[in-house]
Amino acid sequence: RMEASCLELALEGERLCKAGDCRAGVSFFEAAVQVGTEDLRTLSAIYSQLGNAYFYLHEYAKALEYHHHDLTLARTIGDLLGEAKASGNLGNTLKVLGNFEEAIVCCQRHLDISRELNDKVGEARALYNLGNVYHSKGKNVANAGTHDPGELPDDVKNALQKAAKYYEENLSIVTELGDRAAQGRAFGNLGNTHYLLGNFRSAVLAHEQRLLIAKEFGDRSAERRAYSNLGNAYIFLGEFETAAEYYRRTLQLARQLKDRAVEAQACYSLGNTYTLLQDYEKAIDYHLKHLVIAQELHDKIGEGRACWSLGNAYTALGNHDQAIHFAERHLEISREVGDRSGELTARLNLSDLQMVLGLSYSTNNSMMAESHAVENTLNGGRPRGRRYSMENMELMKLTPEKVPNWN
């Protein structure tokens, strides 16, 4: 009777998770664990699903705990396929938690067992996971500095090249298996890896394939992702008109999908692209749209960034009143969110603007001295606060004159 009860609870948990309600699913799975079962395979399946549910709920410590239980159990009962699956899931979770070395060991175990069992599907999935771990590892190290794509230290480059290798191995298997959905995923992440490596032409080729497959499936989220990634690559190819076209399509889909954060991101990208095209009126138009959504979503960092961009665009148009208004707003917000880099930039912008307008700034020596002190503390790492923005955007130098040389 108790056995049936555990099973019933677990079945309800499965049903709820499949229906997309992971939170409720977790309650049922945890109740099932409470009741308990003598059947270790059933328990393994419950642990595995609990781990995945917590993963999708972004509660990674819990996900780690349950996937670890599952792995132990699978080993205990000598379930090799179960061990492979648990290892893969544990690897994915460790990756998200930033423990790349252990993640690699786990994903490699998933790969080894899949090969041992001659499980092609498992092998392909393990290769994709390994690619993802190396991609994250590379990106994580790269983010510690402020590198542009294509300008990378050796360890970052090595990790990204490994990622590309695993994605390509995955692609050759899933192509053989005729799994188009898996091909789409691999092309997308391969494209992003090439982008980080500075292989922008290869990135475009991969994202074009991703786009094709997204359209085949009518997967509009994937289609939007591809447009956005294509836009990013064309920026670095110096083809700003093409980039603008892809960002416009991103915006169109973001609106259709009613995703305000993504819509804001697309507006911001368009604002920057029109800035590069020196069409400042259009740039202002999009940065204002971005500003409105950032305010709506209470995204202070995004709002600060919009003000900064608007200040610059108005300066370029010679509209110094508006420029000062937004520079002041940028300074205010930077202080509010504790963005020291933004604060420094805003101060410099304001003093430049004041000088252009012929206002006295010579009494502000102390302010300038303070700015330099801020600058010195910034050399070490990323300013706090930036990484929490909805857009996850980086402060980076982008000099258009330089772009053609990056090919």
Partner 1 sequence: SQPLAGGQAAELQSKVVPSKQILHSNNMEMEPETMETKSVTDYFSKLHMGSLVYSCTSKRKNK
Does 199 sit near partner 1 (CB under 8 A)?
A: no
Stretch that binds partner 1, among 98-106, 155-163, 189-197, 376-384 (CB under 8 A): 189-197
Q: Which residues of 306-322 are buried (b: 16+ CB within 10 A; e: fewer)?
A: bbbbbbbbbbeeeebee
Does 73 sit near partner 1 (CB under 8 A)?
A: no
What 282-290 contacts at long range (C-beta under 8 Å, 24+ apart), as own/partner pairs, is: 283/309, 283/313, 284/310, 284/313, 284/314, 284/317, 287/313, 289/264, 290/264
For partner 1, the closer of residues 135 and 340 by Cβ is 135
Of 57, 117, 51, 62, which Cα lies nearest the Cα of 84? 117
Does 84 sit near partner 1 (CB under 8 A)?
A: yes
Does 334 sit near partner 1 (CB under 8 A)?
A: no
Does 369 sit near partner 1 (CB under 8 A)?
A: no
Q: How far is the CB of 11 from partner 1 (least distance, A)?
A: 6
Q: What is the helix, strand, coil percentage profile of the chain, to 5?
A: 80, 0, 20
Does 284 sit near partner 1 (CB under 8 A)?
A: no
Burial class (CB in 10 A: 0-12, 13-18, 19+), 218: exposed
Q: How far is the CB of 47 from partner 1 (least distance, A)?
A: 8
For partner 1, the closer of residues 42 and 158 by Cβ is 42
For 93, left (φ over 0), alpha (ψ -120 to 50), or beta? alpha
H or E segment to which residue 334 belongs: helix 320-337
Contact pick of 25, 49, 253, 329 for partner 1 (by CB under 8 A): 49
Of 134, 132, 37, 119, which Cα lies nearest the Cα of 85? 119
Does 138 sit near partner 1 (CB under 8 A)?
A: no
Does 400 sit near partner 1 (CB under 8 A)?
A: yes
Phi, psi (degrees; rounded to nearest 5) at 336: -60, -40
For partner 1, the closer of residues 218 and 358 by Cβ is 358
Site string for partner 1, 288-327 (x = CB under 8 A): -----------------x--xx-xxx-xx------x----
Inter-axis angle of helices 180-197 and 200-217, nearest 10: 160
The identity of residue 358, as a single letter, is G
Contact pick of 25, 69, 194, 272 for partner 1 (by CB under 8 A): 272
Contact pick of 109, 185, 289, 329 for partner 1 (by CB under 8 A): 185
Instruction: Report how far residue 200's alpha carbon sits from residue 364's, in angstroms, rounded to the nearest whole number.
Output: 45
Contact pick of 60, 113, 173, 188 for partner 1 (by CB under 8 A): 188
For partner 1, the closer of residues 7 and 370 by Cβ is 7
Interacting residues with partner 1 between 238 and 257 (CB under 8 A): none
Q: How far is the CB of 45 from partner 1 (least distance, A)?
A: 4
Does 55 sit near partner 1 (CB under 8 A)?
A: yes
Stretch that binds partner 1, among 101-109, 155-163, 267-275, 332-340 (CB under 8 A): 267-275
Does 329 sit near partner 1 (CB under 8 A)?
A: no
Contacts of 214 (CB under 8 A, 6+ apart): 184, 220, 222, 223, 225, 226
For partner 1, the closer of residues 323 and 333 by Cβ is 323
Could you tell me the sign of the dihedral formed by the alpha carbons of 330, 335, 341, 347, in that order?
Answer: positive
For partner 1, the closer of residues 15 and 23 by Cβ is 15
CB 110, CB 88: distance < 8 Å: yes
